[in-house]
Structure 1
């Protein structure tokens, strides 16, 4: 299973577990735009912070704001063209929001075409949203029904943004998606118990999309 991974620095233990038995190989893609911390990041991770587009998006969107996010989707498309195809995409927090938004954008703009990925893994991620500085995210409208591939949604039981991880799961295709909870907050656990929970769900996804073990 070959995965394009967005937001790479937080997932080392999980990646190591999946690579140990060749469940997955990874191609890494990082954001390059200097950014404020997104929701749930400040206090968990030290600066500097980098994003794929200006993040979080506010309600005072401009043409430049839209150009930013389209450029981020183009960055994903270029990675697929140069290094793909990929069996899946994996993103943590902002990386998962980017991946979900890209899947939705592709489905809306290219009806009838195959999705850019065969599956997705969202870790502590939110659906596409906007927010005023210092306030809670507000999920964008019109997201339901566009993510039609198998998805593993992973959330933290102690994450103050848990409800948004659940909201992302709810816009995915329930017939082929799962919702998995680890015992930590808005971070990626490194302890064996929680890594096993996350890796186990991803291994089941691999079996589903590849039909092999």
Structure 2
């Protein structure tokens, strides 16, 4: 493959891509890599262009004879971004001194989604634990000191009803989220009557407030 063809392929790739020679010098980079690491990275040492020990270890292993290595890194640009790094050996070619190709796939959105999911599960667990603990406490009280106290029993039953409905709302929210995630790849094709939808939301929030 000619140098021109190689450059055209690199430019067509959306992910940052570096071609590295046996001395860990960047011999070629596509525009995505230059936008991320600097416009003048070609001809520079990878050690200076990308100061990430995990990446350097992966490149060293590939240059040392391994076919493929991967790594995960975070870079601070305007925001912190996470990348999945793939380093693969290249066969020697007359048109290029490159011995390895390094591809940087941006996984920031996926990592953020994972963190949001973890935070959501933690928050829901906390929200469910509170009414559940209240219900357990009310039941223990009704079985003990308030066994024969009719007024206390009625008050606790009202509180238990409120807490159980709170748990039911949380579970409904979880089921709604699950349905949204299951169908997130399907583009909606229906029409929504916003006035009726807003009225339903207002009524629901008013009931909760009361």
TM-score by length of 1: 0.24
Higher RCO (Cα < 8 Å, 6 or more apart): 1
Of Structure 1 and Structure 2, which has the larger fraction of its residues in helix? Answer: 2
